[in-house]
Structure 1
Amino acid sequence: MNPFQLCDTPYIREDQMTMESHKLACLEVRGGNHLAAYAVELPGLTGWVSCHPLQPSPGGGDVYYLTSCSQGVVARIAIADVAGHGESVSTAATRLRDALRQHVEQWDQSTLIRQLNNTFLKGARRSQFATAFVASYYSGSGELLFTNAGHVPPLWYRAAAQEWSFLSDSTPLSKEIVDLPLGLIAGTSYSQTGVQLEPGDLLLMYTDGVSESYDASRTQLGLERLLSIARDLPTESPVAAGKELLAAVARFRGAAPAADDETVLALQRRSD
């Protein structure tokens, strides 16, 4: 049995709750901005995390955060990237993780990210910002609700179709400014998009240190090449997919050193 989920726990949708006031009860599973690589289990999901800061001490600008909420009904997942390098960025990344911990129990995801943006903005240095991808996974149905705040789009493998694509939102054109990176404008609104994950589906979340890697001739990897790499990845496990993605990026760089923090968060829906 899934250790995070009680067998008699009902599946709950956000539209069944008073979203502005209801709070989840969340248990932090993993999170940080320091050097790490390990497998992880979340409600309904098997995962793998690799965080490789350019400067391991005091830590990088990439942040990941994983929680199990409401006795395994919901998994909350976040990956973020504070712009820049150096100690001030590491400090900002730590503040961002603390802000995630502060607001993660907010039921409505759009409200969570709006609060996260406002909290991060209060302590940010001038012109400091962070991109973020935040998702809520419902273990009872396989639904994933996600919000992309200016972050690079995750890779999505659909097992039934044996096809890779980018996980993109469907935000309609509007005069309202939405889904900006964190720390730019107070009160920014954030949208959310829902997709269905089927057993065997994979999500590869990453930071732009992966997609914007350069080789020795200063050619950038880019999203098109990244998608091409994904099509050759093993899909039997998130560990295999995540490790091979990083290995392929390293092969592309060749003799060129990494120029940014590199973080990958791989998740796969279990069949149980």
Structure 2
Amino acid sequence: MQMQCMEVWGGNRPIDRNIETPGLHVWAFCKPHGKSLSGGDVYYLSSCASGRITRLLLADVSGHGEVVSAVATGLRDLMRRNINHIRQTKFVRAMNEQFSQLSTRGEFATAVVSTFFSPTMKLNVCNAGHPPSLLYRQQQQTWQELTTEMEGSDQIADTPLGVSDEAAYSQHEVQLDPGDLVLNFSDAIMESEDADGQQIGRAGVLKLVSELDVSQPDKIVPTILEKVSQLHSENLDRDDVTILLIQATGEGPSLRNNLMAPFRLLGSVRQSAAGTTDERHTESS
């Protein structure tokens, strides 16, 4: 699937799809718990007016049913409002405010937000209490964790959304090269158990992916799922399972998309004034 400029795609329903944006290949997989048609894992991708900015969101929301559906709708709207902003600080702050308003009912979420700018191939990652992203360097052929730390700050930092309305969130900027991979996943992968009933944890996930053959990126996600299910028969049935894998390609947006960007921006303003949208998302599919 080719993402369109000014598009927001995603939701909280089952999916197994390959998406292309300028500079990125994205593989998205989501399997809600049991036989549910929707789950607490929410995923979104957006592409700006020119296609140069791609944003990815993976959130694990506490609660079920109508609460998660309302949250998914709210997050989609936030993605749309921030679709042309390269800095994601405002977006993450707005997400935290949204969950702070729900905190009276005990709702919160972990999340990882990534913003990719294709002209520079830089990826900015913000983590709110979520399992850390994993980075694969093509040249070194090694995997490593992407951790975000705030140095010299007394503020509450990088906590799950909704825990504190005063929380600050740090950014990790990564310079990607063609062939590099970034893997985001929900905690169901990290909390998978081995044959002895012990959770594999962060170290276990890193070990698992380090043993993968990455020469065919389209097979990475299904191989992870296969290996996790082989560790324990119930690993993929206990919770929602979501994986977002991206690969940097080095390709930029087309000249046509750059030239059309001002007109798309004008169109989005008119749509907002008319109360209409042009998003594709899996809640309605």
Give the TM-score range, shorter chain: 0.7 to 0.9
Call closer, same or farther: CA 1:123–1:137 in 2, change over 3 Å.
same
Change (3 A) 1:256 1:62: closer
Q: What amino acid is aligned across from residue 241 of structure 2 in structure 1?
A: E
Greater CA drift, 253-262 or 55-64: 253-262
Equivalence map 1:150-169=2 (5 Å): 150-169=129-148
Separation in structure 2 between the aligned mates of residue 194 and residue 257 of structure 1, nearest angstrom: 32
For the structure 1 residues 187 and 43, does the alpha-carbon distance in structure 2 shift closer, same or farther, using more than 3 Å as the test? farther
| Farther off after superposition, 93-102 or 153-162 | 93-102
- Pairing 1:222-261 to 2, within 5 Å after superposition: 222-254=201-233, 258-261=237-240
| Inter-CA distance 222–96: structure 2 relative to 1 (3 Å threshold) | farther
Following superposition, the deviation at residue 157 of structure 1 comes to 0.5
Per-residue deviation, 1:218? 2.4
| Residue 177 (structure 1) shift | 1.1
**2:68 pairs with one of 90, 103, 113:** 90
**Residue of structure 2 equivalent to 1:36:** 15
Query: Contact between 2:53 and 2:117, CA under 8 Å: does it hold in 1?
Result: yes
Contact kept, 8 Å, 2:156 with 2:166, in 1: the verdict is: no
The one-letter amino acid paired with 2:7 is: L
Secondary structure of the residue aligned to 2:105 is coil
Among 86, 90, 114, the alignment partner of 1:111 is 90
- 223-232 vs 182-191, which deviates more? 182-191
SS in 1 for 2:206: helix
Q: Deviations over 1:95-115 (max 9, x none)?
A: 453353354336231111101
Q: 1:192 aligns with which of 134, 157, 171?
A: 171
> Is the counterpart of residue 59 in structure 1 residue 9 in structure 2?
no
Query: Percent identity of the aligned residues?
Result: 35
Distance in 2 between residues matched to 1:67 and 1:237, nearest whole Å = 25
Query: What is the aligned partner in structure 2 of residue 101 from structure 1?
Result: 79
Q: Which shifted more, 71-80 or 176-185?
A: 176-185
Compute the displacement of 1:80 (Å): 0.8
CA distance in 2, matches of 1:200, 1:269: 5
Contact 2:3 2:19 in 1 (8 A): no
| 1:94 Cα offset (Å) | 2.3
**Distance in 2 separating the partners of 1:73 and 1:175:** 35
Residue of structure 2 equivalent to 1:202 = 181
- 1:90 partner letter: V
Equivalent residue for 2:107, pick from 124, 128, 140: 128
In the TM superposition, residue 90 of structure 1 has moved relative to its aligned partner by 3.3
| Corresponding residue for residue 171 of structure 1 | 150
| Length-normalised TM-score, structure 1 | 0.83
Bigger shift: residues 151-160 or 106-115: 106-115
Which range moves more in the overlay, 238-247 or 129-138?
238-247
User: Hey, what does 1:17 align to over in structure 2?
Assistant: none
Between 1:56-65 and 1:128-137, the stretch displaced more is 56-65
In structure 2, give the amino acid aligned to 1:186: D
Relative contact order: is structure 1 or structure 2 higher (C-alpha 8 Å, sep ≥ 6)?
2
